[in-house]
Structure 1
């Protein structure tokens, strides 16, 4: 893409002031205008680079910024019929990638830069590497959606391993064709901070290997496959398990495990279960102090939202206190927080 812009002839200070205010999408597009513009964009340091980068494989096939509607680049498979008339840009080692501005949403007026590729995973990998170079940072989040080809997830995992080794946040939302699809994700994507699994395996799914759940935040939407031994290995700060088959006895074992020093990072455990919570069973053999509803405490969750907690059952280990929140006799929610 050639450009007649005089922007890059500006003195250093005015140029920096311009780039400070263009935003990440414009900075990325400007970097594609020429080799010189890319060099300037890469060396620039300022607010336009303060962005959370999310690379989506199968969930929109795009690179997003901090706001999920802030699409920085999108990937489409195959060239349009009029591709010979389209502008082209250089992205990494790919010299003539067809591009054009298009509406990103059917019901909106937001346009974004669409890049066209013969192979979508090649395109996503290329824009991921290009964004890392321009913004001088790793991709913060990967989102894994439906597969178009059987090796899509494998190729996404290979890109992660080869480009940056790990990712802070991993979000998975797809229908597994076989249970091995979920096994593959848990075994091959190195996630360091936040793991969200919105994947529903078969009714009798059991992980081939013990999952390595050592992240700050873990959310499993369909957690019916999570057994007691899986729960006891979850050394996470914030755990949300929905659609769980864990029993009151399982949760009793967990509370005792925590009191004995297990799951030392825990700040919150939130589990929806099939059978109502029976606090007599759950606290059997546990030393606790029951607090009345007149005792109010404020808990700040992982989203920095404050919650008023009334009453509950306090349990301790050394000098740390946790509360099993009393949600009533028919509640199907187990909620434990660590102060």
Structure 2
């Protein structure tokens, strides 16, 4: 027999809601409009400040994922969006609209929304969850098919905290020119050896290229405005690197405090310390290197 949560005292309701996982809360919100209003009212009063809401749109499927703490790197998928062509009506959830269908995915333990337009479905699930939990979208993780989300977020006059892209050269230039993320950019896509970028990125705190970073030139590096930069597959020459060090020592890239370049080829750094003007001191200590990624 279902537990009559709507008939319980307010304090008991709050305690019950507080022990539910995000995917359980989203699923429960589809039980009835009264339950949805109850849950929405709870989070209007008690905004889950540690929670981070991400949207992923990869491989023609969109999910909303919530990280419940800074230590929760995997996150909990709470709802998914699909095209009508993927509709499985085996477990149907009643709805009050002819525009979409809802089913419950038993293996993933979450509701799935189906629209005739998959992008519309993705927007719908993000808006539903942000409204339910009183949260802004924290980050997006997309491939080529998900670049619609960049204009959608920008059109709401909001800035992401984190942006993760894994596509190819067809959308790379658009991504670099139009994405705005205040905390972190992560690029893991593939581009040709001839690809070059001549624009400027919106400043952020951290910029990570996990593959195919050969496109990064000396001019790119000097124009990046980040506190930390990691480039994998770097092909800068030794003279380029020394030129950047000189630029930095003379006050260029003033926000940069951490730079890591993983080179494609073996380079000779015999006089590297001379370029840095290193002065030896009798000082030892432990220093923490910043690092973050979502698997």
TM over 0.5: yes
Do 1:223 and 1:244's aligned partners in 2 also have CA atoms closer than 8 Å?
yes
Note the residue ranges of structure 2 that are not aligned, 5 or more in a row: none
Shift of 1:65: 1.4
How far residue 160 of structure 1 moved from its aligned partner, in angstroms, is 1.0
The answer to whether the 8 Å contact 2:47/2:134 transfers is no
- Counterpart residue number, 2:31: 33
Question: Do 1:233 and 1:263's aligned partners in 2 also have CA atoms closer than 8 Å?
Answer: yes
Structure number having the greater helix percentage: 2
Is the CA contact (8 Å cut-off) linking 1:57 and 1:143 kept in structure 2?
yes
The residue that corresponds to 2:116 in the other structure is 118
Cα pair 1:79 1:117 within 8 Å, conserved: no
Matched, 1:173 2:138: no
Q: Is the partner of 2:94 in helix, strand or coil?
A: strand
Return the structure number with greater strand share. 1
- Taking a change above 3 Å as real, the CA distance of residues 48 and 138 of structure 1, as seen in their structure-2 partners, is closer
Aligned length: 282
Runs of 4+ in 1 over 3 A off after TM superposition: 45-50, 79-85, 94-97, 274-286
Equivalent of 2:227 in 237, 240, 256: 237
Q: Relative to 1, partners in 2 of residues 1:164 and 1:302: Cα closer, same or farther, differing over 3 Å?
A: farther
Higher Rg: 1
Which structure has more relative contact order (CA 8 Å, sep 6+)? It is 2
TM-score (norm. length: structure 2): 0.84
**2:54 match:** 54
Report the equivalent of 1:99: 102
CA RMSD in angstroms comes to 2.7
Please give the secondary structure, in 2, of the residue aligned with 1:8.
Answer: helix
1:160-239 to 2 correspondences below 5 Å? 160-163=153-156, 165-176=158-169, 178=170, 181-207=171-197, 209-220=198-209, 221-239=211-229
Give the C-alpha shift of residue 275 in structure 1.
4.0
Helix, strand or coil for the counterpart of 2:229? Answer: strand
1:14 to 12, 15, 25: 12
- Provide the TM-score with structure 1 as the length reference: 0.74
